[in-house]
Amino acid sequence: MPPLRTLLTLPVSLVLLVLASTTSTTPAPPAVDTALTRLVTQGRIPAAALLTDEGSGSHFAHVEAPTTAVPTDAAGPTGTVRPADGIRPADAIRPADHFRAGSITKSFVATVVLQLAAEHRLSLSDSVDAHLPGLVRGSGNDGRALTLRALLTHTSGLADFTADTKGTLSLTPLQAVRIAIAHPPAERGRFEYSNTNYVLLGMVVEQVTGRSYATEAERRIITPLHLTGTSFPGARRSLPDPHGRAYAADGSDVTDLDPRVAGAAGELVTTLADLNRFYAALLRGDLLPPRQLREMLDTSTAHGLYGMGLYSEKLPCGTTVWGHNGRITGSYVRTAATLDARRVLTFRVNTDAIADPDLEPALLAAEFCPRTP
């Protein structure tokens, strides 16, 4: 994954966050809630939230480090994290809030491509040139030598167009590809994360089906799973209601953003609940036949680092979780799930990154590692 960037420094006078009830008989908060609080206080972010789903039910929590706040009742829904003095920060994240999911878009695009492979409408061994003839040429790049498998696993060697645009320029897919192929490729076959790969896959989906990748994802994934908070906004800059605010690394408000800065590599808008539902369905095999799901989970092509729109992470306790992260200006999100999909977690923050990279794996371990008394 691309390295985390330095984040804005929030005021040091952070609000101490606890569960709504503070009597001596109140049970200790779940370990994952404590980890979420550290994400805000040590990660220097304005706000964070998480949603977990497992056999015993769902759990939502949110934490804010406000610069401004509005009055609210001290009591809140069970399982939420609230300021101890009964204020509700202006940046509080609500359970149904829409947000930008960045590269989690890749899991949706990869699922569509693998569905098309299952339907024999394309093969992962097809060259890029077979579907987009003559497009990938120049500076040592050659679409005749690149397969769809190489795009899915980030082993194509194609340069990442966002290294030039910094995620700030609105582009057509063709413009994004042209920026990328102006650079010589990295060594083919080596894992090198590049947003260009998934822009090309979006173009392949349209060439094969005659419909955009967004339309295909909507009819194949979003509608069947009833992901009512999920959409591909296209050129729409505003987020659907309800939504909170989003902040760039310098603290500026970037809630309104042109999704064409990312396209098929990262334009998705969604909710916490929808992401949990999507990844659980995907890992259960509800969206792909067994063969294609095995291909998606096979990390051998990328030398153990990436599957196809999914990657795994082995936690300190030995548990392995699957999912993806997403980063786009003003938003960072991570979904992780056990392979059997019985436990799923999505957490998000309303800015680009987390100051301390160790906080994310610590939060995952707090949720997925065995709990001790």
Q: How would you write the chain as a 3-class SS string? A: CCCCCCCCCCCCCCCCEEECCCCCCCCCCCHHHHHHHHHHHCCCCCEEEEEEEECCEEEEEEEECCCCEEECCCCCCCCCEEECCCEEECCCCCCCCEEECHHHHHHHHHHHHHHHHHCCCCCCCCEHHHHCCCCCEECCEEHHHCEHHHHHCCCCCCCCCHHHHCCCCCCCHHHHHHHHHCCCCCCCCCCCCCHHHHHHHHHHHHHHHCCCHHHHHHHHHHCCCCCCCCECCCCCCCCCCCECCCECCCCCECCCCCHHHCHHHCCCEECHHHHHHHHHHHHHCCCCCHHHHHHHHCCCCCCCCCCCCCEEEECCCCCEEEEEEEEECCEEEEEEEECCCCCEEEEEECECCCCCCCHHHHHHHHHHCCCCC
Nearest CA among 42, 60, 43 for reference residue 51: 60
Q: Are 251 and 9 in contact (CB under 8 A)?
A: no
Marked catalytic residue, from 21, 103, 125, 139? 103
Q: How would you write 2-25 as a 3-class SS string? A: CCCCCCCCCCCCCCCEEECCCCCC
Q: Is 103 a catalytic residue?
A: yes
Which residues participate in catalysis according to the annotation? 103
